[in-house]
Amino acid sequence: MPLDPAATVAHTRQSWDDHIQPALVEYIRVPAVSVAFDPGWAARGHLDAVVEAAAAWARDRPIAGLTVEVVRIAGRTPVLWFEVTATDPTANDQDTVLLYGHLDKQPPMTGWRDGLGPWEPVVIDDRLYGRGGADDGYAAYASLAAIQAVQDGGGAHARCVGLIECSEESGSPDLPAYVDHLAARIGTPSLVVCLDSFCGDYERLWTTTSLRGLLDVDLTVQVLTEGVHSGSASGVVPDSFRIARRLLDRIEDADTGRILLPELWADVPTGRTAEIEAVAHDLGAELTSSYPFVTGASPTVPATDPAAQLTARTWQPTLTVIGADGLPPTQTAGNVLRPFTTLSLSFRLPPGVDAHGAGRAVVAALTTEPSLGAHVTATVPSAEAGWDAPATAPWLADAMAAASQATFGQPARSLGEGGSIPFMGMLGERFPAAQFLLTGVLGPGSNAHGPNEFLHLPTGRKVTAAVALVLDAHANVS
């Protein structure tokens, strides 16, 4: 018998109020910054602390057939692994659901409002503020709560395994080793549930159908061996920042932001264009109107063309300068021609683009015939391809539609997302026959990675209930 939707919604709400929200409050307090931002993570112990806390919480769940383990490979961040046997003892163990999330966090960032902070959990108007609660600390807890809701409601689920990593915010450098290490235990999933994505609003279930890739390039322009007085040298010695700025013009049109290298572009599939147009028709510019622009600032693509805005943020390449070295703070900046400028460049790549090929194209464009003989180096610390979901099976389309109506009272919507989840591309290659439920709670204003990040608690509860309903539907078609 299928799960009762109303009872499932009530069950997951109780789980959130009594168990998940208190656990997330404690999770937010821990500065479990990802490995790329904290090379001393092992000595500090914060990642170990959040993994062990999640494991202890999981072991306390009254879930039949549950086993929990913290898996460790020497020199790598830990992984929380759980496994739940199928409700049908005669079910094929190879018919598996893989549930994914992560527990590592972005750095704290400045700019938090008074009374808020990255490690200070605060609830205001159904929003739980603090770093990592929505991205993606809730996923492990919500995944297990969904499984428990299925069992307690008399529903069915296939064998479920959970893989909760601790390096996603660094590009998941440790994950491939764990996927290989756990390959026999993972099996061949027919359904992958990932709770690390976005939602266009807080009114319905949103599923993500594509993700952009991510290319990081470090550009250094060096002119001098040491800084010299600008009064005596400027006019003769070129400014390293000016040369860097001109090199970026080879990559990007500074007036429009359009990427100039063809290797970074891909065609948008017809089906994804139809998704974008459907969302733009229904919601207009709602999905792109929540950015905190200063007074007078305007978007690159005008709000009068919401379909073009959605296309730009999901299927077009972009460049963002996310960091710099060689530039002193303004308060201590002397009148000096600095010897070098280093810029950290972050490219978002459309699905289908060869990330490593894009990296080679960027490096070649930046380093060929540098201006005035400056020493120019460009390195690629990481290159991750994007992901485009396989065609959705009819059973999953029906299950997602029914789950959205049951939990939110609105039809489900699907759309690509501009962010990256390296695990999805990895799984897509390994398990081409799998179906994907990629969803999340990061809606308008939630500001993942930035200040004032929050988790919208009602959406967290409803997404958990929706996952439970989809797990039950999956078991009934397997």
Q: Could you give all domains of the chain from N- to C-terminal order, each with its CATH number?
A: 5-211+386-477 (3.40.630.10), 213-275+302-384 (3.30.70.360)
Distance between CA atoms of residues 240 and 245, nearest Å = 9
Phi, psi of 395 (to 5 degrees): -65, -40
Mention every residue, 6+ apart, whose C-beta is less than 8 A from residue 336: 227, 228, 229, 230
CB 456 within 8 A of CB 464: no
In terms of DSSP H, where are the helices of 96-167? 138-152
Q: Amino acid identity of 384?
A: E
Per-residue model confidence as pLDDT tens digits over 339-398: 999 999 999 999 999 999 999 999 999 999 988 899 999 999 999 999 999 999 999 999
**Pair of tokens at residue 233:** 């040298």
Q: Amino acid identity of 445?
A: G
Instruction: Read off the pTM.
Output: 0.89
pLDDT tens by residue, the chain, 478 residues: 789 999 999 999 999 999 999 999 999 999 999 999 999 999 999 999 999 999 999 999 999 999 999 999 999 999 999 999 999 988 776 689 999 999 999 999 999 999 999 999 999 999 999 999 999 999 999 999 999 999 999 999 999 999 999 999 998 999 999 999 999 999 999 999 999 999 999 999 999 999 999 999 999 999 999 999 999 999 999 999 999 999 999 999 999 999 999 999 999 999 999 999 999 998 888 888 888 899 999 999 988 999 999 999 999 999 999 999 999 999 999 999 999 999 999 999 999 999 999 999 999 999 999 888 999 999 999 999 999 999 999 999 999 999 999 999 999 999 999 999 888 888 888 888 899 999 999 999 999 999 999 999 999 999 999 999 999 999 998 6
In this structure, the strands spanning 318-325 and 122-124 are unpaired
CB 175 within 8 A of CB 168: yes
